[in-house]
Structure 1
Amino acid sequence: MQKAVIIGPAHPLRGGLASFNERLARQFMADGFDTAIYTFSLQYPGFLFPGTTQYSSEPAPTDLNIKVCINSVNPLNWLQVGNELRKLKPDIIVVRYWLPFMGPCLGTILRQVKKNKHTKVVCIADNVLPHEKRPGDKPFTAYFVKPIDAFVTMSEKVMKDLRLFTQKPAQQVVHPLYDNFGAAVDKTAARKQLGLPAEAPIILFFGFIRRYKGLDILLDAMAVLKNRQAAITCGDTQKTISSADIRLVVAGEFYKDEEAYHEQIARLGIADVLELRTSFITDSEVKYYLSAADFVIQPYREATQSGVTPLAYHFEVPMLVTNVGGLADMVPDGKVGVVASPDAESVANHIEELYRTGAAFYMPGLREEKKKYSWKVLTDTIRNL
């Protein structure tokens, strides 16, 4: 049996990368590979992780072989793990790259592995150059890419950034569906579970709150909607609502500048149209938030790709995205949602458009488009590379 190893976050670490890697491991297992995940015993020093905790409160998955062993700041550990994998001789190593800080650690591990002259290494590059720039980004990335045989990216922007460092084989694929959070829940039941009003028009901002994701733009848009008080005849129900009736649920943990958002909310006078659930959303809660929402709003000011988009596809929730990075490539305008400019007026106008059109209009497009987002496509691409 062929062996595959995934290097990257997994339980007991939490977050989108961990969920992705665990789902990818299951697909490799379904493809007939003896599969393991090598994850971090220490992922980030505190100054790089502004959230409350790096660790999941969910039980460990019982169907996966997860080895917690990589220390991102200990060079002796890098050599030890690299030598262990060199002797293991997996046929494929899939390594995640999302932050240049990881370049020295992962680059050193993979240099040791490649000494066995057997293992092929494919990198899934989430980012090559990060959203928030730091000293060392370019040399760390240049060091990391040298032992890699091939790359997978999930946006054109990351592919362009990658080509600044290497011309090795690379292929762009769409981010697969996050189908590991369970099935959708009836909207009324989901809102009851979360303590949200059953009949209110509700939009959702989901995920870690970082500046590039544009929550401040969305808050300004909520003020536009509240002050405008425009009459909207909803496409699904033919009921007329006011734009001031629309409620925004913010579900995700602040990474920094929390006070600035609270000051903005107070200044705009929009606390009454917001529901702030700004602690980490556990895997078991995800389905309730996505199922409770009429629409998912991604008002990013810059982006490569987004893990929220495949989540919305899985739960069949129409989206608003901004025309930055690769977001609009994943969300055909007028088919599965709408594409706005990253400013408050445009976001507000397009939220109104979503309600006027109605979620039902977008369902055929969502169901057709989501067929592209297969984990088998990703593992086949990795094997072919």
Structure 2
Amino acid sequence: MRVAIVGPAYPYKGGGAQHTTELAHRLAALGHDAVIESWRAQYPSFLYPGQQTISAPEGRPFPGIRRDLDWRRPDGWVRCGRRLRRADLVVLTLLSPVQVPAYLGVLYGLRRGTPVVALCHNVLPHERKPYDAPLVKALLRRVDRVLAHSEEQAGLARDLASAPVRVAALPPHLPTTAEARPGGGVRHRLLFFGMVRPYKGLDLLLRALARVPGVSLTVAGEFWGGLDETRALIAELGLGERVELRPGYVPADDLPALFGDADALVLPYRSATASQNAWLGHEHGLPVIATRVGALADHVTDGVDGLLVEPGSAEALTEAITRFYAEGEPERLRQGVKAVDPDPYWATYAEALLSAEA
């Protein structure tokens, strides 16, 4: 089967690009003729204030990539659709409603001649704008199938789509790094990693940290709305000596040292769909303290390889951090951490993506 995936790939960074690339590799390994139609310019910079591309790949680049799509060139969207008429299946990777106009152009070029799956990393954004739902609805009512990464997301999709909606858990697609396992005793340092946005709950973690003396925090990642608000909260809480800010995208080669300096990764999200970060923490030997939202709770076994707390509560995070640092607990939880085996996840995911059955 010839499968065309329309989505970001290197030099774009982050989980979306890593997922697109790994999906193409997995389909090729199953004997399919996989190609990627990627972007030359995916978003206007004012809609995505972070760093969009990187200079070195964070895994195996996929050889069959075309990088012609440009958000400023509708004619290129239609040409892409015409090229993909030769495919047996087209996969439109939806990361943001901003992509929808281009995908509608691709569908116009296809002219309904090829089955199309909308692969939804997020059906709707965590922080929504008035135009998000109408745009996504316009897309999901024009495709043949929809693949969502959780039952919650599938429910959103069914409200917007007329096509069948299937669910498959997001499989591991972690960047390739040197192995690093924490050691050398308890550091009394936690890690918050990834892009900082309101729904990820860094403010709640900072308020919790202020109530637990003797514990420090590293915050590493891009700040979506700038640093001013976070710096002001750190100052208000008197945490200036205990919080290290490392703003900016963290290359894969820097992850082992970053994770190796912490006792646990903390994911204090207010909401979530699917995230690789719990797996990423476990891959680097760290227990994970996470909220019970989205798929996070599926990736952490409470009391075995991390701790789970209710979302939206600084008090719950305070209790979890205190419980984590009980005598002998960091070492015990670290011993329970196991790296994830991605193969079973990808086998199930590929079957769900390729199956024409609802």
TM over 0.5: yes
Instruction: For residue 316 of structure 1, report the CA deviation from its aligned partner.
Output: 4.2
Q: AA paired with 2:55?
A: S
2:202 maps to which residue?
A: 215
Instruction: For residue 149 of structure 1, report the CA deviation from its aligned partner.
Output: 1.9
2:64 maps to which residue?
A: 65
Contact 1:313 1:370 (C-alpha < 8 Å) held by counterparts: no
Count of paired positions: 352
3-state SS in 1 of match to 2:212 = helix
Residue number among 354, 358, 364 corresponding to 2:330 in the alignment: 358
Contact 2:92 2:118 (C-alpha < 8 Å) held by counterparts: yes
1:301 maps to which residue?
A: 270
Contact 1:209 1:252 (C-alpha < 8 Å) held by counterparts: yes
Identify the range of structure 1 (16-25 vs 175-184) with the bigger mean alpha-carbon deviation: 175-184
Distance 1:288 1:110 in 2: 44
If each structure's helix is expressed as a fraction of its own residues, which one has the higher value?
A: 1
Residue number among 139, 143, 147 corresponding to 1:144 in the alignment: 139
| RMSD across aligned positions (CA) | 2.4
| Cα distance change on mapping 1:168 and 1:345 into 2, 3 Å | same
Quick check: 1:261 aligned with 2:230? yes
Distance 2:132 2:62 in 1: 36
| Cα distance change on mapping 1:374 and 1:114 into 2, 3 Å | farther
Structure 2 residues not aligned, in runs of 5+: none
Contact 2:195 2:221 (C-alpha < 8 Å) held by counterparts: yes
Distance 2:188 2:344 in 1: 28
2:239 maps to which residue?
A: 270
Residue number among 167, 187, 190 corresponding to 1:203 in the alignment: 190
Instruction: For residue 130 of structure 1, report the CA deviation from its aligned partner.
Output: 1.1
Q: AA paired with 1:384?
A: S
Quick check: 1:95 aligned with 2:97? no
Identify the range of structure 1 (273-282 vs 368-377) with the bigger mean alpha-carbon deviation: 368-377
3-state SS in 1 of match to 2:224 = coil
Distance 1:275 1:11 in 2: 30
Instruction: For residue 10 of structure 1, report the CA deviation from its aligned partner.
Output: 0.9
Instruction: For residue 312 of structure 1, report the CA deviation from its aligned partner.
Output: 2.5
1:185-215 CA distances to partner (integer Å, 9 max, x unpaired)?
14359xxxxxxxx852221111011111011
Contact 2:291 2:308 (C-alpha < 8 Å) held by counterparts: yes
1:74 maps to which residue?
A: 73
Contact 2:182 2:284 (C-alpha < 8 Å) held by counterparts: no
Quick check: 1:374 aligned with 2:345? yes
1:25 maps to which residue?
A: 24
- Aligned pairs for 1:62-211 within 5 A: 62-86=61-85, 89-115=86-112, 117=113, 119-187=114-182, 200-211=187-198
| Cα distance change on mapping 1:64 and 1:309 into 2, 3 Å | farther
| Cα distance change on mapping 1:316 and 1:185 into 2, 3 Å | closer
1:95-143 CA distances to partner (integer Å, 9 max, x unpaired)?
211211211211220242253x3x3322221111211211311221111
Quick check: 1:384 aligned with 2:355? yes
Percent of pairs with identical residues: 30
Contact 2:186 2:263 (C-alpha < 8 Å) held by counterparts: no
Distance 1:359 1:322 in 2: 21
Identify the range of structure 1 (371-380 vs 10-19) with the bigger mean alpha-carbon deviation: 371-380
Instruction: For residue 218 of structure 1, report the CA deviation from its aligned partner.
Output: 0.8
Contact 1:23 1:180 (C-alpha < 8 Å) held by counterparts: no
- Aligned pairs for 1:302-317 within 5 A: 302-317=271-286
| Cα distance change on mapping 1:102 and 1:165 into 2, 3 Å | same
